[in-house]
DNA sequence: CAAGTTCTTTAGAACAATTCTAATCTATTG
DNA sequence: CAATAGATTAGAATTGTTCTAAAGAACTTG
């Protein structure tokens, strides 16, 4: 009857295995934090803080490594909205974001509510990888 | 009969005055580089390089200051597409961008060709400041 | 299940982009 | 043209991120 139910641990292990990553203690802890509740937007710094707060012993370097590995494996998506910081989104599906400039926080916009039309064909030799929409909002 | 025609200098001076900024030697040089030809996308580093190459004597700190002052004054627009670098766009009108990930370059998309529909109303107390669309393209 | 191989983690150093600071200099004003 | 408010500068400081080399943990094989 530990704090962490075995199923959640098993699920995390399987998730890592599927991504071709070894289920190490650190990765399991980070997976637990990232995919426990609903979707979330994390920075390396904030995830590291959350891990430490949860009593996990993980170095910042490992958090960076892990975030990048997860992104490469398609478990996370990187969101660039702020020159200062880099966000990682546990929602890898089709969607966009509000960015609250005053707070530096992100809010999801479902992909089926938003539509971008009239994108010209990219220049010769280039193909569209992804279209990102950022709705910058301010306190009014 | 200097290399820089007086009119361009006068125009630059007026542009700065209108923005409430003193027309100093450094700012005039940077204005000349930024607004000489067509629209361009610059990083602090690249503008500094261009200034030095043009024989201007400007420090990197001043380039940063100036870019931010110009942005605050509405002469430039900041474009965030890459976690690493920060771009400034001399085109402050309504438009969007292709971002060529392999090269780190930007290409303008006219604002009247592209349209974003279905943006939900922002959460209470927030109002939309701007909508940025970034079409990420890759070499195919 | 021991040995060996490979992959991970880690602390700290290194880095790159940007911002800060305090001294110096310059444009403007009276 | 002196006074003043604002601008510039070099270099230091900060910040977010990546690198490195050594120690540790997970998988594989015999």
Name the percent of chain A lying above pLDDT 90. Answer: 86
CA of B10 to C1' of D17 (A): 43
Q: What is the mean pLDDT of residues A6-20?
A: 86
* pLDDT class of A9 with cuts at 50, 70, 90: confident
Structure tokens at A126: 């280039």
Q: How far is A24 from chain B (nearest CA, A)?
A: 28
Q: What is the mean pLDDT of residues A111-124?
A: 96
Residue whose Cα is closest to the C1' of D19: A61
* pLDDT value of residue B37: 85
What is the per-residue pLDDT across B90-120, written as a single tens digit (0 to 9) for each?
Answer: 999 999 999 999 999 999 999 999 999 999 9
CA-based nearest residue in chain B for residue A114 = B118
| Strand C and A61 CB separated by under 7 Å | yes
DSSP SS3 for A100: strand
Question: Does the beta-carbon distance from B118 to A123 stay under 8 Å?
Answer: no
Residue B1 has pLDDT above 60, yes or no: no
Quote the pLDDT of residue B7.
61
On the question of pLDDT at B19 being above 90, the answer is: yes
pLDDT band of B84, cuts 50, 70, 90:
confident
Q: Residue A108 corresponds to which tokens in the numbers above? A: 């999801």
Mutate: best of B87, B88, B129, B139, partner A, most A CBs <10 A: B129
Q: What share of chain B is helix, strand, coil (3-state, %, to 5)?
A: 35, 25, 40
pLDDT exceeds 50 at position B14: yes
Reported pTM: 0.90
- Dihedral sign, CA of B6, B12, B18, B23? negative
The overall longest dimension of chain B from CA atoms, in Å, is 59
Do B138 and A120 count as a contact with CB atoms less than 8 A apart? no
The whole-angstrom distance between A107's CA and the closest CA on chain B is 9
Q: What is the model's pLDDT at position B6?
A: 52
Please give the average per-residue pLDDT across A95-116, as a whole number: 95
């Amino acid at each position: 009857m530990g704090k962490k139910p075995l199923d959640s641990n098993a699920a995390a292990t399987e998730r890592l295995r599927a991504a071709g990553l070894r289920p190490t203690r650190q990765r399991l802890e980070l997976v637990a934090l990232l995919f426990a509740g609903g979707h979330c937007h994390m920075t390396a710094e904030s995830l590291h803080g959350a891990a430490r707060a949860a009593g996990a012993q993980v170095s910042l370097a490992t958090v960076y490594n892990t975030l990048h590995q997860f992104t490469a494996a398609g478990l996370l998506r990187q969101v660039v909205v702020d020159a200062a910081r880099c966000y990682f989104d546990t929602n890898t599906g089709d969607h966009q974001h509000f960015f609250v400039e005053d707070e530096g926080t992100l809010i999801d916009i479902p992909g089926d509510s938003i539509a971008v039309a009239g994108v010209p064909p990219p220049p010769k030799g280039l193909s569209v990888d992804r279209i990102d929409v950022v709705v910058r909002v301010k306190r009014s």
